[in-house]
Amino acid sequence: MRMYAQRKGWDLGQVEITLDREKNSKGVLSEIKMHIELDGKLNEEERNRLKEIASRCPTHKVLSTGVPIVEV
């Protein structure tokens, strides 16, 4: 997000991402809730675009697609 904002010349300040894990009744991870806090002089369109960029992060993609982890 920061690299994208710098390239666009946007005033992005502090970025804080909070994740909360939810487990089902069997104690298995069922959902991850993400909250993104963006400081800086950004309009709503810029904020939405940066959040969209965050969803393209490789780690986000792996977690959201449920890629199995296999021991070798």
pLDDT, residue 68, reads: 75
> What number of helices (H) and strands (E) belong to the chain?
3, 2
pLDDT, residue 72, reads: 86
Residue-range definition of the domain harbouring residue 58: 2-65
Is the CB of residue 57 less than 8 Å from the CB of residue 3? no
**Per the structure block, which two tokens stand in for 68?**
């199995």
Domain for residue 11, yes or no?
yes
Domain for residue 20, yes or no?
yes
If we measure between CA atoms, which residue out of 21, 15, 14 comes closest to residue 57? 15
Domain for residue 71, yes or no?
no
pLDDT, residue 6, reads: 97
Domain for residue 46, yes or no?
yes
Domain for residue 70, yes or no?
no
Residues in the chain: 72
pLDDT, residue 60, reads: 85
Domain for residue 25, yes or no?
yes
pLDDT, residue 44, reads: 97
**CA–CA separation, 40 and 47 (whole Å):** 10
Q: What is the pLDDT of residues 16-63, one digit of tens each?
A: 999 898 999 999 888 889 999 999 999 999 999 999 999 898 888 888
Our count of domains for the chain comes to 1
pLDDT, residue 1, reads: 93
